[in-house]
Amino acid sequence: MLTGVEVRNYAEADVLTTKDGSTIRELLGLSTSQLIRSQSLAEATLLPGQATERHYHADSEELYYLLEGSGVMEIGGEQREVGIGDAILIRPGARHQITAGPGGARFLCCCAPPYRHDDTYFD
């Protein structure tokens, strides 16, 4: 079993675009750490009015936590306005999409098991 401490600074995180169209910085995940086994943490950014493509994850449970901005979160056909300080649960298999408000949106995404492109499905 691997042991050790993993600390990764935001400035070290590569910017990439996920399959759903959001721009993320994966802070700790399968692609950034040899120690990660059960979860991943990334920061996502959406420009004003930008939306992720509606999708779902068969395996991963996701948590979003809004750091900046606002938007509309749609999960399984239900919509709710979200803003700074809101934490959002997205269960495995739940189709979802977030659309940024007029000021854009910046949020943390935590996935368990860790985010994988091949666990992202579209309708």
Instruction: Read off the pLDDT of residues 33-64 as tens digits, 9 standing for 90 and up.
Output: 777 888 989 999 999 999 999 999 999 999 99
Question: Six-digit token pair at 43?
Answer: 């920061």
Which pLDDT does position 3 carry in this prediction?
65
Q: Is the pLDDT score of 110 beyond 60?
A: yes
Count Cα atoms within 13 angstroms, Cβ side, for 15: 6
Which pLDDT does position 16 carry in this prediction?
83
Q: Model-level pTM?
A: 0.88
Average pLDDT of the chain to the nearest whole number: 91
Domain layout of the chain by residue ranges: 12-122
Task: Classify domain 12-122 by CATH architecture.
Answer: Sandwich (2.60)
Distance CA 102, CA 80 (A): 16
Distance CA 30, CA 21 (A): 19
Which pLDDT does position 1 carry in this prediction?
47
Per-residue pLDDT band for 117 (boundaries 50, 70, 90) equals confident
